[in-house]
Amino acid sequence: MESAPCNTNGELRSVAAAKDRRTDALGDLRVIPDEILCAILTRLTPHDVARLSCVSSVMYILCNEEPLWMSLCLGIVNRPIEYKGSWKKTALDQLDFLHKYIEASRRTLQFDGFSSLFLYRRLYRCHTSLNGFSFDDGNVERKENIPFEEFLMEYDCQKPVMISGLADHWPARKSWTSEELLMKYPETKFRISQRSSKKVSMKFKDYVSYTQIQHDEDPLYIFDDKFGEVAPDLLKDYSVPHIFQEDYFDVLDTDQRPPYRWLIIGPERSGASWHVDPGLTSAWNTLLCGRKRWALYPPGRVPLGVTMHVNEDDGDVNIETPSSLQWWLDFYPLLADNDKPIECTQLPGETIYVPSGWWHCVLNLETTIAVTQNFVNSKNFEFVCLDMAPGYRHKGICRAGLLALDDSSFVDIEKNSLCIENGSSYFDLNRREKRVRIEDKCSENCTNDMSMSDGFGGDLEYSYDISFLTMFLDNERDHYSSLWSSGNCIGQREMRDWLWKLWVQRPELRDLIWKGACLALNAGKWYERVGAICNFHEFPGPSLDEKLPVGTGSNPVYLIDDYVIKIFAEGGLEASLYCLGTELEFYSIVHKSNYSLKNYIPSVLASGILLSENGSYRVLPWDGRGIPELIASFTSIKHEEGDYPFGLCAKKNFEYQNAGRLLHESGNCAKPSSVWPYIVTRRCRGKMFAELRDTLSSEDELNLACFLGKQLHDLHLLPVPHQSCNDSVPMVREDHIQPLCCSGLSENGLDKIGHPADLELFISILNRKRENVVRRLAEWGDPIPSKLIEKVDDYIPRDLHVLFDQLEHEAECRSYTWIHSDVMDDNIYMMPYSDSTLEKKLSEPCVEEGTYISRSNNSNNHKLSWVPSYILDFSNLSAGEPILDLIPIYLDIFRGDPHLLKQFLTSYKLPFKRRKSMVEVVNSNRLDQLSYRAMCYCILHDDNVLGAIFSIWKELKSATTWEEVEETVWGDLNSYI
């Protein structure tokens, strides 16, 4: 290939005399368009790009483009950005190489003999001015100080409107200018919006400096949902306009609700590309400084140039769209008049309302400062719940309308419309990814209603109406067990918590809340199923107040009169059978023991299996023993007879088969089921710790830690069913993996390195999880720092056996015990200390020097004290190393409080592990540290406990090593003996 030319006099050679040098300079790469070449370069490291720039003169041009180095810099950023006048310099600064960069040595770019329309257009976008964009007022309706009743009737969830007068009395109208904010917040770091997976921030003084000298085609702009935390005084400068104050998310604490408010600051040419607001929420946006150009399309009308990808596995919607400036320059001129969007220019002091589901694109015509909030109210609540529901087809329909439908017969839609009430669905779910393209559909009518021939002599009309959109739900999925979309604005647990809090705190909205719960949780179907269980056992049926499942767990739970009914759905039928079978086996063992734990768990009243047959339900009682004929006929699982064929040993083998699978590979949970195991327990009186957390005294919390230590002590000493060659274990149906408990073991049940069979199986499960740990953490994503994900392979042992080598296997130092797995704030019940029955029940000493109940709260003290009374929800029971139970307790119950952890350990009084000799203790390394073991378990955990860690210890988001995280979170464990 040709080498880069050296032009000593710095003058361009005559274009007329120039020869087309692209072919010689690129060789075989000449067949690749410049756009693709530039895209490939963004995938390389800065070092590789620098090397590649030396290959030829054309590569030198491609490798020195500012847009390329902007992309490279944002991909490697490891600290707040300080713009150095060019993105190449800024990237070198991030790499600490700027001191080696000599500007004078840079060769002059030679363009003679080389032309590129792609590069020219990009260069034009970088240097164009928007002064010539002389827009008129547009066609969005404008109102002044609109009354709430008029907004509700004419615009709410119907059409956009520009409103003046709502911010006239805000302090922000005068104080939110670049100059004023720079004086007050020069060192404050704000989050930056850009096309990179990394979180980027800049000091405000550096951002202002950047905006004054940058020439980027898609400039960085501040889009910060945490501005109220880093600059709390900004929250005092504005208030939510009166017509937008109804917000159902306000029942959640600020740290629990999804991002909903943003500070937005951007220079000329910056803006937001085409999108629909998250969760189909509505939004208001008030401009304080500058001018913004808005373009909007109604729901179901995808803008020209936008491509949607709807993933079939979890329904996540990804959008490929040009930048805001590129769309206005390259796509807008192609539109016919009747295809153009609804448009307007927003001026300082004006507020625009964007209804649920509306596409919108924003271009800053000059430097702008704005504030925006998203909200859920009575008009869009059902749409928000619909968007949360598992499945993929309805998500595409909401955003792309009929374009989201494939070319197959619309008879399916007609069938589905007839079966909405009973929850049926006839949609064929075969494709891996649903792609919707708009390029050939730009002549569609730009209205709220669209129609398309169904191929059978009729028309199917699209409407952004909840009854119409509900037809496209995949109602066959069990909404409690199906994979939740990673793009949802809140998770499954948070969604259930939100609906339950609304149900309790806003009883006047229960009709509406029920409709939303039926969409998001399939609540109507679960209500029918729990009713059938009540009828069979002659329990009172659920009242109107008891219709909604309680708690945030993955299995529907109902509180009905004096009973708690839990229907197992998580993970599909197989997983549910193992959960119930193991729970029933555990109850049998604990009630035969002499431990006090049995006094603090609810008693079992009934258990069985619910079967749906031809629209009706049949109940089969089952106590976990034997294999009911019903199960044998509905599953292909083969077991040998035994006391608990679906008990702990079988469940551990099932865990082994599924260990290490990524979220989208969990196929069983998406399969429709007509069989549901269930259990009925006695209802515990009192309140969940989750409801009381913020009202408890420090003494109450210490009592709780003491209680949990004692009960976990008893749990971890209970007899554990052991794996052996004669145990009943499941036959593997798909991958032909032999259960480890029946292979490679000696006659005494130990493997070749001295581990018991059950411990060997536990370690093998850990090793399978270890295989996909990097991909799994990448799937979890934020807030786990990407730089730590890259280092996880070097932190965790390749073979987890090394954590267990040389351990004593004495009775008081057990490495394999029962594990509750889910001791969290909604699984602890508490009662007032004044309850006389409770005092009698909780009279047993917890530690040598005290009891559960603090005796300082005597009759002369009117302060209400709460004490723990029950541990609930044993559906996630498993077996493993006892330290695993510390993870949910420390992170969820104690929220990282080291004093509560110390109290727990004082009460627990069991060693977690012991080396075989004092010599090994003296020569111990990090493998002997409890903190290291706990950190490894956090990384390998099935749930995203790392997300909890980086949310509790926010300073760890800047950690550079796992050792730093380990010491901060678990360091106190190393002093425990």
> H-type helices in 638-772, by residue range?
648-658, 689-692, 698-717, 757-771
> H-type helices in 221-326, by residue range?
227-230, 324-326
Residue 928 pLDDT: 78
Q: Which residues contact 967 (CB under 8 A, 6 or more apart)?
A: 931
Task: Calculate mean pLDDT across residues 587-606.
Answer: 92
Exposure b/e, 149-185, CB count within 10 A at least 16 = b: eebbeebbbbbbbbbeebbeebebbeebbbeebeeeb
Name the least confident of 61-75, 171-185, 642-656, 714-728.
Answer: 714-728
- Is the pLDDT reported for residue 366 higher than 70? yes
* Alpha-carbon distances, residue 898 vs 902, 908, 973 (angstroms): 6, 15, 10
- Is the pLDDT reported for residue 906 higher than 80? yes
Task: Calculate mean pLDDT across residues 239-245.
Answer: 95
Cis peptide bond prior to 783, omega within 30° of 0:
yes
Residue 610 pLDDT: 94
Beta strand spans in 433-516 (E): 433-437, 449-453, 459-463
Residue 315 pLDDT: 82
Residue 179 pLDDT: 95
Number of alpha helices (DSSP H) and beta strands (DSSP E) in the chain: 36, 30
- Tell me the C-alpha distance between 89 and 112, whole Å: 26
Residue 102 pLDDT: 63
Residue 311 pLDDT: 83
Residue 82 pLDDT: 92
With tokens 């796509």, the residue in question is 331
Tokens read off for 701: 């919390």
Name the least confident of 423-432, 689-698, 765-774.
Answer: 423-432
Sorting pLDDT into bands at 50, 70 and 90, what band is 524? very high
Name the least confident of 248-252, 432-436, 835-839, 931-935.
Answer: 432-436
Instruction: Look at 30 and 857; give whichever has higher pLDDT.
Output: 30
Identify residue 3 by its one-letter amino acid code. S
- Dihedral (CA of 835, 837, 839, 842) sign: negative
- Tell me the C-alpha distance between 200 and 189, whole Å: 10
Residue 938 pLDDT: 96
How many percent of the chain have pLDDT more than 90? 52
Per-residue pLDDT of 755-794, as tens digits, reads: 468 888 899 999 999 998 998 888 887 788 888 998 999 9
> H-type helices in 562-628, by residue range?
573-592
- Is the pLDDT reported for residue 284 higher than 60? yes
Task: Calculate mean pLDDT across residues 257-262.
Answer: 93
- Is the pLDDT reported for residue 945 higher than 70? yes
> H-type helices in 593-741, by residue range?
629-634, 648-658, 689-692, 698-717
- Please, which residues bridge with residue 222 across strands? 192, 265
Instruction: Look at 115 and 149; give whichever has higher pLDDT.
Output: 149
Residue 178 pLDDT: 94
- Is the pLDDT reported for residue 599 higher than 70? yes
- Is the pLDDT reported for residue 916 higher than 70? no
- Is the pLDDT reported for residue 745 higher than 60? no
Taking all residues of the chain, what is their mean pLDDT, rounded to a whole number? 82
- Tell me the C-alpha distance between 244 and 352, whole Å: 12
What's the gap between Cα 215 and its chain centre? 35
Residue 39 pLDDT: 92
Q: Which residues contact 661 (CB under 8 A, 6 or more apart)?
A: 772
Residue 913 pLDDT: 66
> In what side-by-side order are the strands of the sheet with 687-688?
687-688, 828-832, 866-871
- Tell me the C-alpha distance between 977 and 974, whole Å: 8
Q: What 3-state class would DSSP assign to 665?
A: helix
Task: Calculate mean pLDDT across residues 644-651.
Answer: 90
Tokens read off for 948: 């909890």
Residue 452 pLDDT: 40
Task: Calculate mean pLDDT across residues 739-744.
Answer: 37
Task: Calculate mean pLDDT across residues 858-881.
Answer: 78
Residue 729 pLDDT: 39
Report the predicted TM-score, pTM, of the whole model to 2 decimal places.
Answer: 0.83
Task: Calculate mean pLDDT across residues 570-597.
Answer: 91
Instruction: Look at 220 and 920; give whichever has higher pLDDT.
Output: 220
- Is the pLDDT reported for residue 326 higher than 90? yes
- Please, which residues bridge with residue 294 across strands? 344, 362
Task: Calculate mean pLDDT across residues 687-713.
Answer: 92
The residue count of the chain comes to 977
Task: Calculate mean pLDDT across residues 127-139.
Answer: 76
Task: Calculate mean pLDDT across residues 601-615.
Answer: 91
Specify whether the CB–CB gap between 275 and 308 falls below 8 A.
Answer: no
> In what side-by-side order are the strands of the sheet with 433-437?
317-320, 307-311, 433-437
